[in-house]
Protein backbone atom coordinates (compact mmCIF):
# COMPACT_ATOMS: atom_id res chain seq x y z
CA UNK A 1 0.00 0.00 0.00
CA UNK A 2 1.43 3.42 -0.96
CA UNK A 3 2.45 5.74 1.86
CA UNK A 4 -0.34 8.25 1.15
CA UNK A 5 -3.04 5.57 1.46
CA UNK A 6 -1.48 4.22 4.66
CA UNK A 7 -1.46 7.70 6.18
CA UNK A 8 -5.09 8.30 5.21
CA UNK A 9 -6.13 4.92 6.59
CA UNK A 10 -4.25 5.61 9.84
CA UNK A 11 -5.86 9.04 10.14
CA UNK A 12 -9.32 7.52 9.63
CA UNK A 13 -8.58 4.68 12.06
CA UNK A 14 -7.52 7.02 14.85
CA UNK A 15 -10.56 9.18 14.18
CA UNK A 16 -12.90 6.17 14.38
CA UNK A 17 -11.33 4.95 17.65
CA UNK A 18 -11.56 8.40 19.25
CA UNK A 19 -15.13 8.83 18.02
CA UNK A 20 -16.23 5.50 19.49
CA UNK A 21 -14.58 6.40 22.80
CA UNK A 22 -16.47 9.70 22.74
CA UNK A 23 -19.80 7.94 22.31
CA UNK A 24 -20.12 7.49 26.07
CA UNK A 25 -22.37 9.96 27.86
CA UNK A 26 -19.84 11.63 30.19
CA UNK A 27 -17.02 11.97 27.66
CA UNK A 28 -19.42 13.16 24.96
CA UNK A 29 -20.87 15.80 27.32
CA UNK A 30 -17.40 16.97 28.36
CA UNK A 31 -16.09 17.28 24.81
CA UNK A 32 -19.32 18.86 23.52
CA UNK A 33 -19.09 21.48 26.27
CA UNK A 34 -15.40 22.14 25.60
CA UNK A 35 -16.11 22.40 21.88
CA UNK A 36 -18.92 24.89 22.49
CA UNK A 37 -16.66 26.99 24.71
CA UNK A 38 -14.02 26.84 21.96
CA UNK A 39 -16.53 28.36 19.51
CA UNK A 40 -15.45 31.70 20.95
CA UNK A 41 -17.23 31.97 24.29
CA UNK A 42 -14.12 31.08 26.32
CA UNK A 43 -11.94 33.57 24.43
CA UNK A 44 -14.43 36.44 24.67
CA UNK A 45 -14.77 35.88 28.42
CA UNK A 46 -10.97 35.74 28.76
CA UNK A 47 -10.53 39.02 26.88
CA UNK A 48 -13.20 40.74 28.99
CA UNK A 49 -11.66 39.38 32.20
CA UNK A 50 -8.20 40.64 31.20
CA UNK A 51 -9.61 44.13 30.72
CA UNK A 52 -11.56 44.06 33.99
CA UNK A 53 -8.65 42.69 36.03
CA UNK A 54 -5.73 44.50 34.42
CA UNK A 55 -7.14 47.69 32.89
CA UNK A 56 -5.17 49.18 30.02
CA UNK A 57 -2.59 46.40 30.07
CA UNK A 58 -5.42 43.88 29.77
CA UNK A 59 -6.95 45.95 26.97
CA UNK A 60 -3.65 45.86 25.07
CA UNK A 61 -3.42 42.09 25.50
CA UNK A 62 -7.06 41.69 24.43
CA UNK A 63 -6.48 43.85 21.36
CA UNK A 64 -3.49 41.65 20.49
CA UNK A 65 -5.68 38.55 20.87
CA UNK A 66 -8.45 40.10 18.76
CA UNK A 67 -6.05 41.09 15.95
CA UNK A 68 -4.56 37.59 15.98
CA UNK A 69 -8.09 36.18 15.88
CA UNK A 70 -9.06 38.22 12.81
CA UNK A 71 -6.01 36.98 10.93
CA UNK A 72 -6.60 33.40 12.12
CA UNK A 73 -10.23 33.52 10.95
CA UNK A 74 -9.25 34.87 7.53
CA UNK A 75 -6.55 32.24 7.08
CA UNK A 76 -8.85 29.45 8.31
CA UNK A 77 -11.61 30.42 5.85
CA UNK A 78 -9.17 30.58 2.94
CA UNK A 79 -7.74 27.16 3.76
CA UNK A 80 -11.20 25.58 4.15
CA UNK A 81 -12.28 26.96 0.79
CA UNK A 82 -9.06 25.81 -0.87
CA UNK A 83 -8.79 22.28 0.55
CA UNK A 84 -12.50 21.32 0.76
CA UNK A 85 -11.73 18.14 2.71
CA UNK A 86 -14.94 16.34 3.75
CA UNK A 87 -15.51 15.85 7.45
CA UNK A 88 -14.89 12.36 8.87
CA UNK A 89 -18.56 11.61 9.49
CA UNK A 90 -19.29 12.55 5.84
CA UNK A 91 -16.61 10.18 4.55
CA UNK A 92 -17.13 7.21 6.86
CA UNK A 93 -20.61 6.08 7.92
CA UNK A 94 -19.14 4.45 11.05
CA UNK A 95 -18.12 7.86 12.43
CA UNK A 96 -20.82 9.85 14.24
CA UNK A 97 -20.95 13.63 14.43
CA UNK A 98 -21.80 14.02 18.11
CA UNK A 99 -22.47 17.76 17.63
CA UNK A 100 -23.44 19.79 14.58
CA UNK A 101 -20.50 21.18 12.60
CA UNK A 102 -20.20 24.92 12.04
CA UNK A 103 -19.38 24.45 8.35
CA UNK A 104 -19.01 21.76 5.72
CA UNK A 105 -15.29 21.07 5.54
CA UNK A 106 -12.71 19.49 7.80
CA UNK A 107 -9.26 20.93 7.07
CA UNK A 108 -7.95 22.62 9.15
CA UNK A 109 -9.64 22.58 12.54
CA UNK A 110 -10.57 26.20 13.17
CA UNK A 111 -11.26 25.54 16.84
CA UNK A 112 -7.75 24.16 17.29
CA UNK A 113 -6.06 26.83 15.18
CA UNK A 114 -7.71 29.59 17.22
CA UNK A 115 -7.16 27.88 20.57
CA UNK A 116 -3.44 27.41 19.92
CA UNK A 117 -2.91 30.93 18.55
CA UNK A 118 -4.94 32.57 21.34
CA UNK A 119 -3.31 30.51 24.08
CA UNK A 120 0.23 31.26 22.96
CA UNK A 121 -0.46 34.99 22.63
CA UNK A 122 -2.30 35.11 25.98
CA UNK A 123 0.51 33.20 27.73
CA UNK A 124 3.06 35.64 26.32
CA UNK A 125 1.15 38.45 28.05
CA UNK A 126 0.17 36.45 31.17
CA UNK A 127 2.39 33.35 31.71
CA UNK A 128 0.40 32.29 34.79
CA UNK A 129 -2.58 31.54 32.54
CA UNK A 130 -0.73 28.49 31.17
CA UNK A 131 -2.19 26.23 33.86
CA UNK A 132 -5.69 26.95 32.46
CA UNK A 133 -4.93 27.51 28.77
CA UNK A 134 -2.77 24.45 28.07
CA UNK A 135 -5.32 21.86 29.29
CA UNK A 136 -8.20 23.79 27.73
CA UNK A 137 -6.46 23.98 24.35
CA UNK A 138 -5.53 20.29 24.47
CA UNK A 139 -9.16 19.46 25.28
CA UNK A 140 -10.44 21.61 22.41
CA UNK A 141 -8.08 19.84 19.99
CA UNK A 142 -9.09 16.38 21.25
CA UNK A 143 -12.78 17.30 21.17
CA UNK A 144 -12.69 17.90 17.45
CA UNK A 145 -11.59 14.32 16.74
CA UNK A 146 -13.69 12.69 19.48
CA UNK A 147 -16.82 14.47 18.23
CA UNK A 148 -16.25 13.14 14.69
CA UNK A 149 -15.73 16.58 13.17
CA UNK A 150 -12.03 16.39 12.31
CA UNK A 151 -9.28 13.95 11.50
CA UNK A 152 -6.18 13.94 13.71
CA UNK A 153 -4.21 15.42 10.79
CA UNK A 154 -6.63 18.39 10.69
CA UNK A 155 -5.88 19.05 14.34
CA UNK A 156 -2.11 18.58 13.98
CA UNK A 157 -2.00 20.92 10.98
CA UNK A 158 -4.12 23.48 12.83
CA UNK A 159 -1.72 23.26 15.79
CA UNK A 160 1.22 24.03 13.50
CA UNK A 161 -0.64 26.85 11.72
CA UNK A 162 -1.84 28.36 15.02
CA UNK A 163 1.67 28.16 16.47
CA UNK A 164 3.16 29.83 13.41
CA UNK A 165 0.53 32.54 13.42
CA UNK A 166 1.07 33.20 17.14
CA UNK A 167 4.82 33.31 16.59
CA UNK A 168 4.41 35.87 13.81
CA UNK A 169 1.96 37.88 15.92
CA UNK A 170 4.36 37.91 18.87
CA UNK A 171 7.28 38.84 16.63
CA UNK A 172 5.31 41.84 15.31
CA UNK A 173 4.37 43.19 18.75
CA UNK A 174 7.38 44.68 20.57
CA UNK A 175 7.95 43.76 24.19
CA UNK A 176 5.79 40.62 24.20
CA UNK A 177 7.41 37.20 24.13
CA UNK A 178 6.73 33.68 25.32
CA UNK A 179 10.37 33.37 26.36
CA UNK A 180 10.96 36.61 28.23
Q: What is the pLDDT of residues 6-44, one digit of tens each?
A: 545 567 777 777 777 766 778 888 988 999 999 899 999
DSSP 70: H
Is it the case that residue 145 has pLDDT exceeding 70? yes
Q: What pLDDT sits at residue 171?
A: 93
- Model pLDDT for residues 49-100, shown as the tens digit of each residue: 999 999 999 999 999 999 999 999 999 999 988 988 888 888 877 887 778 7
Give tens-digit pLDDT for 156-178.
999 999 999 999 999 998 888 88
pLDDT for 27 equals 82
Q: Give me the pLDDT at residue 2, please.
A: 58
Cα–Cα distance measured from residue 149 to residue 65, given in angstroms and rounded to the nearest whole number: 25
91-142: per-residue pLDDT in tens?
A: 877 887 778 788 888 889 999 999 999 999 999 999 999 999 999 999 999 9
C-alpha dist (Å) from residue 42 to 7, 74, 85, 94, 133: 33, 20, 27, 31, 10
In whole angstroms, give the CA distance from residue 155 to residue 113. 8
Amino acid sequence: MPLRKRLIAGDSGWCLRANRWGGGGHSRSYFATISRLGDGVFWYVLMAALILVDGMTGLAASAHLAATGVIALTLYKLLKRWTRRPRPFASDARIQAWVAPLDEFSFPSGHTLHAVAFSLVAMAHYPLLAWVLVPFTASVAASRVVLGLHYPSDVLAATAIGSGLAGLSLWLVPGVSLFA
